[in-house]
Chains A and B, each alone.
Chain A
Amino acid sequence: MAASYFDVDGTLLTTNLLHPTIFYLLNQQNPLRSLGKLARTAVRAPQLVLAEMRDRRLFNEMLFSAYEGMSEDRLHCLADETFDAVIKRALFPHARDLVQTCVDQGHEVVLVSGALDFLMGRLAAFLGAHTVIANRLEIKDHYATGRLLRPVVAGPEKARLIRDHAKLKGHDLDDCFAYSDSYSDVPMLSVVGHPAAVNPDAKLERLANAYGWPIVRLEKESRPKRGLTGTVRELLS
């Protein structure tokens, strides 16, 4: 049996890691706490941008530190709401079709994402995916410490995790498929026999064209890129 490994943000969803995080920050115990958390994140925005440019793993670690102090209960209670309000609405129009085709072909569908595991679990159930490889928050005494458990799912680490998963499940990587939108996922795309660029960024599109990888567009029309303010505005609306 083959496996299909999917990156999620930008590939199947129009959103990125910021969107659910901001939704969580906006839904703290009281507005004052929400405001405080949002302000702290906004102040760190330039650092986040620099981290994103330098190393996706560093960006993930910095972003998820915003969860520090949130109770495990709250994280899980809000997960359904986050899924309905942020994730489900952000699915690309043809994302479900693509995943369904993989399921129909008998593939094990694996979501490989830098997002948080409890959100990706809900998405997997909705799409009919079988397995999730995602980031996990460290929890101590029922509260998030703001740190991520190892391994952090990002960049080249995704490739290693895919290799380990395939070995564990007995998949021949030459028969496997991988899908991503981002040049940062080239290592993940390169380990399988059938890589595909989905809604690719310019650098990945150039690479896909050079290597003859299929370029799939799941959106009906391209959407304008949103910054932090745009994201907050959309989530508040």
Chain B
Amino acid sequence: MTHPLVVTLDRKSAPRTIFAGDRLVEVDMPAGTRVIYPRAPLAALKDPDAAIRYALNHPHGSDPLHAKLRPGMKVVIAIDDISLPLPPMRRPDVRERVLTIVLEMLADHGVEDVEMIIATSVHRRMTSEEIRHIVGDRIHSKYYPHRLYNHDAEDAKGMKELGTTEMGEVVELNRKAVESDLLIYVNLNLVPMDGGHKSVAVGLCGYRSLQAHHTPQTMRNCHSYMDPSSSALATSVERMGRLANKTLNVFTIETTVNNRMFDRPLEFLHKNEDDLSGSERTALRALRFTLDKLPQPARQAIFQKVPSPYGITGVFAGETEAVHPHTLAKCYEQYSVPIRGQADVLVTGIPFISPYNVNSFLNPLLVSVMAEGYLFNMYRNAPLVKKGGTMIVTHPCTDQFDKEHHAPYIEFVHNLLPETRDGLELHKRFEKKFASNPALIQKYRSGHAYHPAHPFFMWYWGEAGRQHLGRVIVVGADNEYIPKLLGYQTARSMPEALEMAQSHHGPSPEITMMHMPPIVMADVTV
């Protein structure tokens, strides 16, 4: 018997509505297609502040936070950046709630030397307003910019090497954090690949440390990112995090949120199209029509400028490895849907957002990150699609980039991808030189651009998917050039794409559709 969230379509089923960037498209899927829907949002904690206080006072594998404090000590608080959650959370963000309580506790114990670092690693620096959004007005006005600032992975004097793991991975972290008496990490765990040792060992590191695991080979050995026990990336990060935790006094605070990505007027987006009421069907049609007519910036504003009403579902604190299993369990409880058997064809819409384009456009490289990277990897045990299978995605693949945030991506896509799409070759021939471009490094340090190594990491993100999939077909691309650069085949419509897939998988391929966002991941049994 299949799970209620796995719906098998028949001849009478309504068309499915899926994302194609910041538009919604209606696609007719053949009878027999399995559609996986996201779980309903878990119930939010009724009193999150009480839950935060409880977690700080009843931590896992550690003394309570108050017992670690003494007057005059140096405390650094590292905070997850704006790449989580997606879209940003309606205020107060859970990080603001946690920080408010932690800062009160520090003040009560005579701890005045407090600095807060946004753990951006090689992500772009957050703007003042973005920081304000996650920490709140009071904390922002009191601490920003001198005691609340972005991590700078290229500030040679601001980084400190802690050592090398038994596998030769160099652990180099933010000096302020390393030299503090206590490092408190405030995390927001959106998906199972977040949190744990990744928070400190990646969030506060630089390019030297990232080179240990952000490689095409490591990414090919992740099955999947969402299952840390089968991810070479997670294994490497854990080794580095353990080494860091031997030297540092780390107190981890992890939080989880539910799946309430869309507020009430758009809530129907995660429902089975056959179960929509009359008014919901009309609203969906109206939304689709409006999005079709609006110019792109307006569509982006509709989805990105409206924060999501996420509910807080868990707060866990203490020693990193003791905390994380509780966080992971909550994530799986929210996202995981059991499904039996792999498909020949996996169909999914690519939405308007990824962790790397908050407040900017989902450029072609991020389309690939979403397709072969995140969406392919939304599984445990086995991929949703068979080895050599077909992935069909819907997206316009517009050749558009945010010139500030994604400056290094432009050269990567237009100058390097035409040379080769082979991750190993890109890594060997181009990465180091490109990542040391002084102008791009300066844009990362004083502007709001991603580090020049980041586009390479983004390409590697799709390596496991690229190795596994036989082909990716994109439906609705507005040009042929970008799909060709990404290695995609193109189809004008879903029936055409399915016909192309049939030529590889026979006349009746097994088709599975992932209906997201909101986030859903599959526990696949073969």
- A residues apposed to B, CB below 8 Å: 4, 93-94, 97-98, 101-102, 104-105, 107, 177, 179, 194, 196, 198, 209, 212, 214-218
B439-A212 in contact (CB<8A): no
Contact with A along B444-471 (1 / 0, CB 8 A): 0111010000000000000000000000
**Contact status B445-A215, CB under 8 Å:** no
Please name 18 further chain A to chain B contacts, defined as beta carbons within 8 Å, in addition to the given A98-B442, A101-B442, A105-B438, sorted by A numbering: A97-B445, A98-B439, A105-B436, A177-B438, A179-B439, A194-B439, A198-B439, A212-B411, A212-B414, A214-B437, A214-B439, A214-B440, A215-B404, A215-B443, A216-B439, A216-B442, A216-B447, A217-B446
For the complex formed, measure the closest distance between the CB of B146 and the CB atoms of chain A, giving whole angstroms: 14
Q: Which are the 10 A-B pairs with shortest beta-carbon distances? A: A196-B439, A101-B438, A214-B439, A94-B446, A212-B410, A102-B438, A98-B442, A105-B436, A216-B442, A214-B407
Once the chains are docked, how many angstroms separate the CA of A104 from the CA of B156? 10
For A94, the chain B residues whose CB sits under 8 A away are 442, 445-446
Residue numbers in B under 8 Å from A177 (CB-CB): 437-439
- Contact between B439 and A218 (Cβ–Cβ < 8 Å)? no
**Size category, B interface:** 20 to 34
Chain B interface (Cβ < 8 Å from any Cβ of A): 154, 156, 403-404, 407-408, 410-411, 414, 436-443, 445-447, 449
Nearest residue (CB) in B for A106 is B436
The smallest C-beta distance from B155 to any residue of chain A, in angstroms, reads 8
Nearest residue in B to A101 (C-beta to C-beta)? B438
A216 partner residues in chain B, CB cutoff 8 A: 439, 442-443, 446-447
A181 to chain B, nearest CB (A): 13
Dominant SS among interface residues on chain B: helix
Contact in complex: A98, B411 (CB < 8 Å): no
By beta carbon, the residue of chain A nearest B404 is A215
| CB nearest neighbor in A for B452 | A214
Nearest-neighbor residue (CB-CB) of B401 within chain A: A212
Give, as a whole number of angstroms, the nearest-CB distance from A209 to chain B. Answer: 6
* Bound-complex Cα distance A60 to B447 (A): 33
Distance in Å: Cβ of B342 to nearest Cβ of chain A: 40
Q: A189 CB to closest chain B CB, in angstroms? A: 11
Using CB atoms, name the residue of chain A closest to B156: A104
Residues of A near B440 (CB, < 8 A) are 214
Q: Which residues of B contact A179 (CB under 8 A)?
A: 439
Q: Find out whether the CB atom of A218 lies under 8 angstroms from the CB atom of B446.
A: yes
Given the interface pairs A97-B445, A101-B438, A177-B439, the reply to whether A215 lies near B403 with Cβ below 8 Å is yes
Q: How far is the CA of A194 from the CA of B407 in the complex (A)?
A: 13
Q: How far is the CA of A196 from the CA of B410 in the complex (A)?
A: 14
Q: List 28 A-B contacts (CB under 8 A).
A: A94-B442, A94-B445, A94-B446, A97-B446, A98-B439, A98-B442, A101-B442, A104-B156, A105-B436, A105-B438, A107-B438, A177-B437, A177-B439, A194-B439, A196-B439, A212-B414, A214-B408, A214-B437, A214-B440, A214-B443, A214-B449, A215-B403, A215-B443, A216-B439, A216-B443, A216-B446, A217-B446, A218-B446
